[in-house]
Amino acid sequence: MSQKKSWFGKNKKVDSQSILSDNNIPRHVAIIMDGNGRWARRRGLPRIAGHHSGMKNVKKITIAADDIGIEILTLYAFSTENWTRPQDEVDYLMSLPQEFFPLEIDELVQKNVRIRMTGWKEGVPVHTLEAVENAIERTKHNTGLILNFAFNYGSRKELTEAMRELVRDVQSGSLKLEDITEEEYSKRLQTAGLPDPDLLIRTSGELRISNFMLWQLAYTELLFTDLYWPEFSENDFYEAIREYQSRIRRYGGL
């Protein structure tokens, strides 16, 4: 457990899902899973050990999210900017889906979880894509929690490409200029068909959005914790949900 200060721990006795109110569970929770490298460094381990531990935490938090009835869990696993990291770290991150899915897919299928990917295939190694696509294929008829990996994802690229598509549609005559609406724009985003996140959690103490879902986060509740992602537990997750449930969402109204 981190010794660092965090917004968690205001009521450390509250440590189970039983404290959650059933009628205000967020539909869509998004997480920026940050702090793997620092978690590893603090233990004198290589950075990739932090990513491996972070991968294991994906399973725990997915099960926790499913248990309380969250519909969509979006996890920021690899950004379009992460390609600039040292090649061996990039290679390791690209190998994680191949390790994760064969290990966990049976349980995910049994739990009715559906895998989805938000991001671009271009540039992602074939072996990585195959692992993700197999998981998507195997879970495509599932109707439970959507586990959405933001992988090779960046929001400015997403917004730019959606804009390009809108312009193309107007130029080709399939869309009138006056029919450009927020809905038409949303339909052209990587997250088409998903509701916007109700709650965004970022671990590791950084207070940034880091090019993540800039459009979709317009009215999302934001929670930041100093805990590093590998140490972010189910109880921390439940406490985040409890914090969400204490917020009053006004959407610009009164």
Which sequence positions are flagged as catalytic?
34, 82
Cα dihedral 159, 161, 163, 166 sign: negative
Q: Which range binds ligand FPP by CB under 6 A, 52-60, 165-173, 178-186, 244-252?
A: 52-60
Interface pattern 202-221 for ligand FPP (x via CB under 6 A): --x-----------------
Q: Is 51 assigned to a binding site?
A: yes
Strand segments (E) across 109-204: 114-118, 146-153, 199-202
State yes or no: residue 73 binds ligand FPP (CB under 6 A): no
100-159: contacts with ligand FPP (CB under 6 A)? 100, 149
- Pick the binder of ligand FPP from 31, 49, 54, 154 (CB under 6 A): 54
The residue assigned the tokens 């966990």 is: 104
User: Which amino acid is present at 179?
Assistant: D
- Encode 98-126: b = buried (16+ Cβ within 10 Å), e = exposed: bebbeebbeebbebebbbbbbbbeeebee
**Rounded to an integer, what distance in angstroms lies between the CA atom of residue 199 and that of residue 188?**
22
**Rounded to an integer, what distance in angstroms lies between the CA atom of residue 93 and that of residue 36?**
11
Closest to ligand FPP by CB, 55 vs 227, is: 55
Count the site residues for ligand FPP by CB under 6 A: 19
State yes or no: residue 77 binds ligand FPP (CB under 6 A): yes
For residue 34, CA distances in Å to 2, 38, 81 come to 14, 9, 14
The residue assigned the tokens 């938000």 is: 118
- Pick the binder of ligand FPP from 8, 224, 229, 237 (CB under 6 A): 229
Closest to ligand FPP by CB, 53 vs 220, is: 53
Q: Is 133 assigned to a binding site?
A: no
**Rounded to an integer, what distance in angstroms lies between the CA atom of residue 213 and that of residue 117?**
14
Q: Do strands 221-224 and 72-79 pair parallel, antiparallel, or not at all (unpaired)? A: unpaired
- Pick the binder of ligand FPP from 82, 142, 233, 235 (CB under 6 A): 82
Q: Is 243 assigned to a binding site?
A: no
Contacts of 230 (CB under 8 A, 6+ apart): 35, 36, 39, 50, 53, 54, 56, 57
Nearest-CB residue for ligand FPP: 37
State yes or no: residue 162 binds ligand FPP (CB under 6 A): no
State yes or no: residue 97 binds ligand FPP (CB under 6 A): yes
State yes or no: residue 35 binds ligand FPP (CB under 6 A): yes
Residue stretches of the annotated binding site: 34-39, 47, 51, 79-81, 83, 85, 202, 208-210, 221
Residue stretches of the annotated binding site for Mg(2+): 34, 221
Binding site for ligand FPP (CB under 6 A): 33-38, 51, 54-55, 58, 77, 82, 93, 96-97, 100, 149, 204, 229
